Amino acid sequence: MYSCVMELDKMDENDWKYHGEGNKSLVVSHVQHARVLRLLKYSTEDDENSHKTTEQAFRHIQNIVDYSKNVMKPLLGDKFVHNGEAVKLPLDFVRQLSLKVQLERPESRCDKVMDTFSGCALCLPNLTQLSSCCCFGQHRPPLCIEIKPKCGFLPSSRHVTKEVKSKVCRFCMHQHFKLASGKWKRLSRYCPLDLFSGNKQRMYLAIKHLIEEPQNNFKIFKGGECIYSCKDDADMLQDLDELAKHMRPYFLPSGSLGNGHQSSKVVLNELIQVLMSALLSSWDCPRTVEPRKTQIPDGRGTCEGSILHRDLLRNGNHCLPKDCVLAKILGTQMLDNLDIEGVNPLFRRVEQHLQDFPKERSRLQIDGPYNESFLEKMQNCPAEDDGSIEYAVGKIHQYRVAMTAKDCSIMIAIAPCGEDDGLDQNLEIRHTKTRFSYSVSILDLDPKPYDSIPHQSKLDSKILNNYLRSTQPNNQEVDNMELTNPSLFLGRDREDCTLVFHPV
């Protein structure tokens, strides 16, 4: 178990290093202990947030902790969610730390600055590392793969006005919008519906496409260091052979194929197989028992924006083990059963109510607190719109929780292990069954702001209209070899790897 207990009077910025950052926070990791600090960051033009008081900043972070603990953990499962702890740090330490990490930040992220005024942070376990895992040599530190899967289903709400939304997923449409706006230089071939399908051919290709074009949706860490992610120079293609060199000691037996393109394909194939096994593991079910399945509703699990051939999309098994991480995330995402087009009118209803009765904002828990009562309001929302404010607020709460699940990250930490701790390095990974110690966690579970709903509605319209303008009737096809000969990538003659659950 990790601990956030720190000697505040002995905090030294040199004990911490830059780990990564998202849109709203920056993360540093401790050089010795398996913990990270997540600090808020603001736009240089955002005067309102950049001058938050310490109390306001601490409440903001405590809200994240409460939301993860009291709302997302019951929905996603205790075994996947680590809610962390809000901490107050010495201001001098935070300012020195900000100066230290500034040189390591990617240029594309430097439009925002780290919060150096409040001293508040969120302390979390470093999930890129496996603590106390079974044997792995110093030359093979643990690997951690971060996947941001995005939304895994198509909306079926009667409020949807354009038919294309029930045929092409949000991610695939958003890709065209990001390409047009200059965010990315190439379209990703990844489709979330393939990953969430439970069909191994589709899942394999989804992960393969993430590796080929990671964007912000795929990273690999080795020993806590990021070794593979989207390049800051978007014009450069990913170097898969270089990635395969990092992976070779984990997935290619000693004395097997050496260097070369063919061995790189074998190594990356093995990596994908292990990731699929981790994503489909039904943790609460004994391995000797067939796990219960979650069926994907008909018509909501196939995307016409996916480049896969329609025969592959229609045929085969399309369901997930009920307790696997993908099923938990998908079930929470599907709390959004109205789509933003159905939620936005309810937002206007609530806004009108709050104008007439401003003190109701607290009772309805619009801004929290994120406690058991908030979860009950969301879960006990009436099934049909009875015109009440309770229905409108309940559906908005459901939408916000679903949006969190649509934007979360999955962390899969793995380390090869042998039959006992005394195995020789060359025997720890064998040509037959390779055993891995592993853990699966879900990160990035912040509450989505209530007042962002109008923005989401406008963004949805922009993405939809751009897609309708930009798409051509002749969609790009996937390589025929991948589809007509599945054994090439599913490894017809390969041995399955064995994954051993390792709790964090």
DSSP string, 121-158: EEEEE-TTS-TT-S---TTSPPEEEEE-----S----T
- Give the separation between CA 39 and CA 64, rounded to whole angstroms: 12
Residues 6+ apart with CB under 8 A from 238: 211, 212, 213, 214, 228, 231
Give the H/E segment covering residue 30. Answer: strand 25-30
**Tokens matching residue 227:** 């070794």
- Give the separation between CA 443 and CA 309, rounded to whole angstroms: 33
- Do 38 and 124 touch, CB atoms closer than 8 A? yes
- Give the separation between CA 202 and CA 197, rounded to whole angstroms: 7
User: Per residue in 203-234, is it b (16+ CB within 10 Å) or e — as a string?
Assistant: bbbbbbbbbbbbbebbbbbbebeeebbbeeee
Q: What is the identity of the amino acid at 403?
A: M
Query: With 0-12 CB in 10 A as exposed, 13-18 as middle and 19+ as buried, what is 35?
Result: buried
- Give the separation between CA 418 and CA 184, rounded to whole angstroms: 42
Q: Which of 470, 445, 452, 504 is nearest to 122 (CA)?
A: 445
From first to last of its 504 residues, what are the pLDDT tens digits of the chain?
Answer: 455 667 777 899 999 999 988 888 999 999 988 899 999 998 877 655 556 788 999 999 999 999 999 999 999 999 999 989 999 999 999 999 999 999 888 887 888 999 999 999 999 999 887 654 444 444 578 899 999 999 999 999 999 999 999 999 999 999 999 999 988 889 999 999 999 999 999 999 999 999 999 999 999 999 888 999 887 555 556 788 889 989 988 887 665 555 566 788 889 999 999 999 999 987 655 444 455 677 666 667 889 888 775 666 666 567 899 899 999 999 999 999 999 999 999 999 999 999 999 999 999 999 999 999 999 999 999 989 999 999 999 999 999 999 999 999 999 998 877 655 443 332 233 334 567 888 899 999 999 999 999 999 999 999 999 999 988 554 443 444 444 444 444 444 444 555 554 444
pTM of the model: 0.88
Q: What is the identity of the amino acid at 251?
A: F
- Do 130 and 221 touch, CB atoms closer than 8 A? no
